[in-house]
Amino acid sequence: MEGIINNPRINAQKGKFVIFGHQLKSQEEHAADCAAWDTNIPLHKIVCKADDVASIAADLNDYGVTHTSIYPDLEGLAVEIRIRAGYV
């Protein structure tokens, strides 16, 4: 069952909320525990090298993943304009 998506950012990001209960484990610890018994865990940690960030950002932009597609509000638009103008 899915909840109501009434927030433009959550909707644009196709976001989901995860409830882990009363455990005091981090999200990574919980995913590692689950991976031991279920190989279909949709939660993965990806570590990018600092040298690759600009290239990854350019690739995402080419695929249409921009600040305004992730943050569809004035703040997201302002950040994207600053990036395109070279201010970030």
Which pLDDT score is estimated for 50?
Answer: 96
Terminal Cα distance for the chain, rounded: 40
Which backbone phi and psi does 28 adopt, to 5 degrees? -65, -40
The whole-angstrom separation of Cα 10 and Cα 19 is 16
Report pTM: 0.59
Query: Do residues 13 and 70 make contact, with C-beta atoms less than 8 angstroms apart?
Result: yes
pLDDT tens for the 88 residues of the chain, in order:
555 667 777 777 777 666 667 778 887 787 777 766 666 666 667 889 999 999 999 999 999 999 898 888 899 899 999 988 988 7
Which pLDDT score is estimated for 13?
Answer: 77
